[in-house]
Structure 1
């Protein structure tokens, strides 16, 4: 997805038919029908038998995954129209909104949930950077071999991930209390994180937009490796001006379609918001009865949220779009750190809840190894299937540590 799609915009009935497809309508109806059914039944998790509890939880999770798939569909359509990096940004932000909603629902539900945000974001880190990225690199490396991501864009993501990951999971154990930030520290971390992310988005959508697009092989260049290191003849100012003109034209030409798809996307997200409360109470009861590790709740949230985006990333890898894979995987985790953590800290400040972010030594080791492997992969001249296999190994080790 190197540039915005400037094909003619559908109008009238054709536009409605293109947006409200049978699949989109099915997802909308299923989501809202489930909300109505749960409102009418008002199930009590504590009074439900084990089998009923499991069936209810499985049904709600299935509906949320289906609805999340609908959100991703509309976000992908917007992404195709807007082009990278704007399109991928829309997609990742849509997914992170769902993640924030689910975590907030659990935090604001009954019971103590001091570690749910930490467990969820750590699970997101391992699923995106090891499971999803590992599968993508295996697929891309096996099918296309000599692939090269944009080094500047990929390294930009990684420096953000290292800084935000260390801030989130290691710093609270060193300067906080009981593994949590103090109120003053939470305010400073929230402001600093949001400010850094805002600056990153400004650069990504402006002067550095070209750093997040696929590496294109110029005429007479033998391979993507040479293209990746070839100097650009365009300055940041020229790139920014060209990108601004392109996106402005797309917004003006396809305004009706973009607004309509955004409305459908919001209508598909709302059932997830409403169902998340029921899912949180059922999840609490289910984990308590099973005596399962509390971190499994975070893993479930991460799997619900990022399954549709993982499928999107694997499709991009199959098509040889390695930079799109990087944008989806690395970009999603940057957004998760930069938006989920501040939101959780604000909730903790408003409600007085303690939120523990300090991670175990095993998980910190695995996270550090993950970022190191990612950095080495970015620095390599080409991405291979072996890089993907190493990421998958790290995910297996994370699963092992989860039940240790």
Structure 2
């Protein structure tokens, strides 16, 4: 009975998918209207989020068994799988397709580097004053994040080999190969040769306390993780249809769809990072936050480009110039924040101010 209760999110996810599949056209957003469609969107959104929390829970259990940095890496890769599924579903669903990947990845970077990092530093700083982490680990994250972000989100806008913010075939090939190679090198650093720089420097035991989850065997949690991922993937197409219809019905900017997907994907992971910061385990929070940003650029970009190539869809990655300024400012402030071995709540407030500016620009530039 305890197993069934713990895996209830996956069962509910499959049930919701079955209901929408059997209902067919009767539950199409065009048939239901804006008001009812927003209600159904809330149902799908909450179901997907519940399943995402189940994914994170199984990843947390694997983290408890395997220790850092492998636990955080599993968590990051699981979340990236959800992100790719949602991006591809919405990307293939309608007029928001060309810029969907760009908006989502930019949203992930801004939510992680400003929203989550800001909340973690603010909450941790208010509770523990100054917090410490492994500076070499943070520098490793930033050293790969800066070039990957510029390659993917800036270069396509300032070059003229393809229209707008699209990538030329040569650029797309370079982006896929370079992202995979750089992330592969980083993965070797993180898990094999330099795994010690991604651990808490004060020796705090942050590998065995993961919110009192019930830890079972590795096969159980691996199967549970994939069983929680599957309904998210199955419901992603339904979610895409309702998000697109709801945004059009409300007259909201299309970039909001990318923000919604990014917020949905990052919610469980963000809560895990925030909890770690409050428990004075800043290294784990840094691993989660910066790892999410690096994996989004290093893995999601190649995946989306490959999907676009296979399906023949145009992918627009180049940011608008105002967004480029926000990205460069965010990377600059992040380099300053993670340039010393201690942090305070002042840095958290600065990052949250940048996040507020980003949210404002979503509506101001629409």
Separation (CA, whole Å) in 1 of partners of 2:4 and 2:194: 36
Separation (CA, whole Å) in 1 of partners of 2:150 and 2:181: 17
Matching of residue 361 in structure 1 with residue 321 in structure 2: yes
* CA-to-aligned-CA distance 1:225-278 (integer Å, 9 cap, x gap): xxxxxxxxxxxxxxxxxxxxxxxxxxxxxxx81111000110011000010111
3-state SS, counterpart of residue 133 of structure 2: coil
Of 248, 255, 260 in structure 1, the residue corresponding to residue 220 of structure 2 is: 260
Matching of residue 160 in structure 1 with residue 139 in structure 2: no
Separation (CA, whole Å) in 1 of partners of 2:34 and 2:57: 35
Separation (CA, whole Å) in 1 of partners of 2:104 and 2:203: 39
Of 24, 36, 41 in structure 2, the residue corresponding to residue 52 of structure 1 is: 36
Q: For residue 343 of structure 2, what is the aligned residue in structure 1?
A: 383
Gaps of 5+ in 2: 205-215
CA contact (8 A) 1:169 1:358 kept: yes
3-state SS, counterpart of residue 342 of structure 2: coil
Structure 1 stretch 147-156 or stretch 374-383: which is displaced more? 374-383
Of 107, 110, 122 in structure 1, the residue corresponding to residue 106 of structure 2 is: 122
Q: Alpha-carbon deviation of 1:61?
A: 0.5
3-state SS, counterpart of residue 200 of structure 2: coil
Rg (Cα) greater in structure: 1
- Aligned alpha-carbon RMSD (Å): 1.7
Separation (CA, whole Å) in 2 of partners of 1:330 and 1:203: 15
Q: Alpha-carbon deviation of 1:184?
A: 2.5
Matching of residue 145 in structure 1 with residue 105 in structure 2: no
Q: Alpha-carbon deviation of 1:50?
A: 1.5
Separation (CA, whole Å) in 1 of partners of 2:96 and 2:134: 43
3-state SS, counterpart of residue 114 of structure 1: helix
Q: Alpha-carbon deviation of 1:146?
A: 2.6
Q: Alpha-carbon deviation of 1:381?
A: 4.2
Of 7, 15, 18 in structure 2, the residue corresponding to residue 36 of structure 1 is: 18
* CA-to-aligned-CA distance 1:71-109 (integer Å, 9 cap, x gap): 000001111111111110000111111000000111222
Matching of residue 395 in structure 1 with residue 355 in structure 2: yes
Separation (CA, whole Å) in 1 of partners of 2:68 and 2:259: 29
Matching of residue 284 in structure 1 with residue 244 in structure 2: yes
Of 89, 105, 128 in structure 1, the residue corresponding to residue 73 of structure 2 is: 89
Separation (CA, whole Å) in 1 of partners of 2:239 and 2:96: 16
Q: For residue 274 of structure 1, what is the aligned residue in structure 2?
A: 234
Alignment of 1:193-204 (within 5 A): 193-204=179-190
Structure 1 stretch 166-175 or stretch 311-320: which is displaced more? 166-175
1:370–1:112 distance in 2 versus 1, CA, 3 Å: closer
Q: Alpha-carbon deviation of 1:21?
A: 6.0
CA contact (8 A) 1:183 1:349 kept: no
Q: For residue 330 of structure 2, what is the aligned residue in structure 1?
A: 370
CA contact (8 A) 2:134 2:198 kept: yes
Separation (CA, whole Å) in 1 of partners of 2:304 and 2:7: 33
1:112–1:144 distance in 2 versus 1, CA, 3 Å: closer
TM-score when normalising by structure 2: 0.92
* CA-to-aligned-CA distance 1:303-342 (integer Å, 9 cap, x gap): 1100011110111001101111110000011001111100
1:139–1:49 distance in 2 versus 1, CA, 3 Å: same
Separation (CA, whole Å) in 2 of partners of 1:188 and 1:372: 25
Separation (CA, whole Å) in 1 of partners of 2:127 and 2:135: 21
Alignment coverage as a number of residue pairs: 350
Separation (CA, whole Å) in 1 of partners of 2:96 and 2:287: 35
Q: Alpha-carbon deviation of 1:57?
A: 0.8
Q: For residue 268 of structure 2, what is the aligned residue in structure 1?
A: 308
